[in-house]
Amino acid sequence: MPPRMTNRLLVLPLLNQGDDDALCGAERLLSARHPLQRLAGLDFLSQLAGAGRRAARRHALAQEYHAASTSTPRPPARCSPSWTH
């Protein structure tokens, strides 16, 4: 199965979360070590955009990712999804 299709299957459950938890999931994926997880995070942001969810925060996450893409190591995700409490 192509990575992009796999990414979409993995992030589908995240789309059913509330906006804050969904964006937290995207942030965690974008800060992951593995490049395919980061790709899934970018794909997920795209899916959130298609659904019209939280544009300002999505843009901020994309800009943070772009800025961090030239630095190593990646900073850890700052959020804590509500389902982990």
Residue with the bigger pLDDT between 51 and 8: it is 51
Q: How far apart are CA 41 and CA 26, in angstroms?
A: 5
What integer pLDDT is reported at residue 12 of this predicted model? 76
pLDDT at 84 over 60: no
Task: Give the contacts of 77 (CB within 8 A, at least 6 positions apart).
Answer: 24, 27, 28, 30, 31
User: Which tens digits make up the pLDDT trace of 26-54?
Assistant: 999 999 989 888 988 998 999 899 888 88
Tokens found for residue 74? 């990646």
Q: How far is CA 83 from CA 14, 49, 70, in A?
A: 11, 23, 31
- Interhelix angle 19-30/55-68, nearest 10 degrees: 10
What was the pLDDT predicted at 37?
A: 87
Q: What's residue 54's pLDDT?
A: 87
